[in-house]
Amino acid sequence: MSDLELDAVALGKVGMMRQTQPEFYVMRLHAVAGDLTARQIRCIARVAARYGRGSVHLSTRQGVEIHYVRQEDLEKARLELLEGGVEMGACGPRVRLIVACPGNETCRQGVIDTKAMAKTLDERYFKTETPSKFKMSVAGCSNNCSKATENDIGIRGAIEPEWVPASCSDCGLCMSLCPVRAISRRESGGNPETPFRYEADEASCINCSTCTSLCPSDAWRVGKRGYHVYIGGTMGRVPRFASLLKKFVTDEDDVYRLVEEAIAFYRQHGNKKERFGHMIDRIGLDTVREVILGSV
Ligand code: SF4
Ligand code: SF4
Ligand code: SF4
């Protein structure tokens, strides 16, 4: 391997990549859940003006990159960024930036704290080595804005709906709004107080919160909040939609345990440069799922 290639490998580990133009590098920066403070943004702007060409590139994964930095300026730029509270990102076969939508901090439809979860995942795994690149995303609800199902591990907020008979006007709207037709109406066998019941079928319910958001009488309420955990999603040359690892995990710590086991399994069984989802296809989803779920 030439010195230049060796440099490229070493620099890649700290989020720096050679550009098409060999005299220039891309500096990939660290941001969790796409959040940066005003101080960090000012610092990035300064460094981009001083060492790049005065602009930044926003990546598809909520990352910020400074392009057109010369190799001799990389270290000075890195130190200035660090002084402004900006750390370097990641390239190569390791855990990349953790992506998250705003979640329930600011989005009215969010049912989980996506940013807190992204921060925890970042602290535990960011830049740790894996057989190939490894991406994680957290989405606050079934709208899945942060595309959890296109990631090696995706976590999606979910709710379990609870019907409140006293509030229901029997309008029937929820049955037609439910995207998977999980809601049905039953007669209650002559009970004059509750002559009918609306029920959500647990097996077919996708825990999406359409009923709890749109019932005009607030007769569907959030019973419990939880997480759907997905594994093996990827884009790239051979895209693969993520597989559901576990539906409706209610304990946040169980989510972290599943993530830990999934990454450990991948590290143990994944071939070099083989994406997690492709390893799952090689070994078999049922086997992988059984091992990961069995160890939690
Ligand atoms: S996934 Fe849900 S919580 Fe997140 S931004 Fe979209 S609508 Fe809001
Ligand atoms: S939409 Fe609400 S009020 Fe109408 S039938 Fe369903 S639960 Fe009852
Ligand atoms: S949570 Fe979604 S899938 Fe489940 S019953 Fe309500 S609307 Fe249907």
The protein residue whose alpha carbon is closest to atom 6 in ligand 1 is: 145
Q: Is residue 270 part of a domain?
A: yes
DSSP state of 73: G
Q: What's the whole-number mean pLDDT along residues 247-251?
A: 96
Residue 90, domain member (yes or no): no
Assigned token pair, 55: 């602009």
Q: Is 193 a residue whose pLDDT tops 80?
A: no
| Ligand 3 geometric centre to CA of 126 (Å) | 34
Q: Give a yes or no: residue 150 inside a domain.
A: yes
Domain boundary among 182, 205, 224: 224
- Please write the tens of the pLDDT for every residue from 263-280: 999 999 999 999 999 999
pLDDT of residue 280: 98
Q: What is the pLDDT of residues 135-158, one digit of tens each?
A: 999 999 999 999 999 999 999 999
pLDDT band at 1 (very low <50, low <70, confident <90, very high): very low
10-19: long-range contacts at Cβ-Cβ below 8 A with a sequence spacing of 24 or more? 11/74, 12/91, 12/92, 13/90, 13/91, 13/92, 13/94, 13/127, 14/78, 14/88, 15/88, 15/89, 15/90, 15/91, 16/74, 16/88, 16/91, 17/91, 19/67, 19/68
CATH number at 200 reads 3.30.70.20
Atom of ligand 3 nearest to the CA of 181: 8
Per-residue pLDDT tens over the stretch 123-132: 999 999 999 9
What pLDDT is attached to residue 2?
45
pLDDT (tens digit, 9 = 90+) per residue, 215-227? 999 999 999 999 9
- What local confidence, expressed as pLDDT, does residue 295 receive? 73
pLDDT for the residue numbered 7: 74
52: pLDDT confidence band, cut at 50, 70 and 90? very high
Looking up residue 122, the CATH number of its domain turns out to be: 3.30.413.10
The pTM for the full model equals 0.92
> How many other C-beta atoms lie within 10 A of the C-beta of residue 270?
22
120 plus 265 within the same structural domain: yes
Is residue 114 within 8 Å of residue 102, measured between CB atoms? yes
Is the CB of 99 within 6 Å of ligand 1? no
Q: Say which residue the tokens 């606050």 belong to.
A: 140
Residue 203 belongs to a domain: yes
Q: Judge whether 89 lies within some domain.
A: no
Atom of ligand 3 nearest to the CA of 206: 3
Examine residue 118 and state whether it is found in any structural domain, yes or no. yes
pLDDT band at 5 (very low <50, low <70, confident <90, very high): low
How does residue 114 score in pLDDT terms, banded at 50, 70 and 90?
very high
When divided into structural domains, the chain yields a total of 3
Domain region containing 184: 159-224
* Pocket flag, ligand 1, residue 139 (CB < 6 Å): yes
For residue 207, report the distance from its CA to the centre of ligand 3, in Å.
5
